Amino acid sequence: MTTRIVAIGGTVNPGSTTEQALRLAAASAATGGADLQVFGGAYLAALPHYGSEAHAKGNGSELVEAVRQADGVLIAAPGYHGTISGLVKNALDFLEDLSKDERPYLDGRAVGLIATAYGDQATMSTLFAMRSIVHALRGWPTPMGATIRTYRGLFSPDGECLEDRARMQLELVGQQVARGARAFALAAAEPGA
């Protein structure tokens, strides 16, 4: 049985700390051999607005299809003015295309959340906003959500996290997504499921 994990997030900045945090948690989630797909800042920046003509032409369908198949999802967003950035929210709006599925939106998926910001207040308010979104989409947020204060030097140039507090949170969120994803995949494989 293969579990499938999809990681979504980042910013338009090259070397985005949000995306680095996402990739660290995703690597932790995939340690046991899960199938992993990452949609980082560059992909999100190329998405049209949800509901636009470009969306109607099929842009964003890879993201929708990946989440459709997923057992676990990781989402990382920066706090912009105290809440989730428009870039990441627009990507999540595409999950509306799963509304008519047998498993709609984020139903039956473990969802790990990562909020980054300069200050504690925005990391927390952004995490809470993300949890509300996941609940609205019928997803199952993991018990641990990561709140990461960002600054120059949090990650080394090769992507290593240099702060124990941040690294431990990200690894734990990844592990919890892997655990939840395995449980959902097993349940789906049961006869009569």
Ligand X SMILES: Cc1cc2nc3c(=O)[nH]c(=O)nc-3n(C[C@H](O)[C@H](O)[C@H](O)COP(=O)(O)O)c2cc1C
Q: Is 90 in the site for ligand X (CB under 6 A)?
A: no
3-class SS letters over 139-181: CEECCCCEEEECCCCCECCCCCECCHHHHHHHHHHHHHHHHHH
Q: State in Å, rounded, how far the first CA of the chain is from the last one.
A: 15
Per-residue x/- marks for ligand X, 117-146, CB under 6 A? Answer: xxx--x------------------------
Q: Which is nearer to ligand X, 75 or 122 (CB)?
A: 122
Q: Which is nearer to ligand X, 57 or 165 (CB)?
A: 165
Query: Cα–Cα distance between 152 and 133 in angstroms, integer?
Result: 29
Q: Is 116 in the site for ligand X (CB under 6 A)?
A: yes
Q: Is 147 in the site for ligand X (CB under 6 A)?
A: no
Task: Give residues with Cβ within 8 angstroms of 75, minimum separation 6.
Answer: 7, 8, 9, 88, 92, 111, 112, 113, 114, 130, 134
- Chain centroid, CA 63 distance in Å: 12
Least distance in angstroms from the C-beta of 186 to ligand X: 34
Q: Which is nearer to ligand X, 81 or 100 (CB)?
A: 81
Per-residue x/- marks for ligand X, 40-79, CB under 6 A? Answer: --------------------------------------xx
Least distance in angstroms from the C-beta of 173 to ligand X: 16
For strand 110-117 and strand 72-80, is the pairing parallel, antiparallel, or unpaired? parallel
Q: Which is nearer to ligand X, 24 or 98 (CB)?
A: 24
Number of chain residues interacting with ligand X (CB under 6 A): 16
Which residue in 81, 157, 158, 190 binds ligand X (CB under 6 A)? 81
Amino acid found at 121: Q
Per-residue x/- marks for ligand X, 15-44, CB under 6 A? Answer: -xxx--------------------------
Query: Cα–Cα distance between 114 and 127 in angstroms, integer?
Result: 7
Q: CA 168, 123, 88, 184 torsion: positive or negative?
A: positive
- Please, where are the H alpha helices in the chain? 17-29, 41-46, 53-56, 61-69, 86-93, 120-136, 164-189
Least distance in angstroms from the C-beta of 83 to ligand X: 8
By CB under 6 A, name the binding residues for ligand X: 11, 13, 16-18, 78-82, 116-119, 122, 150
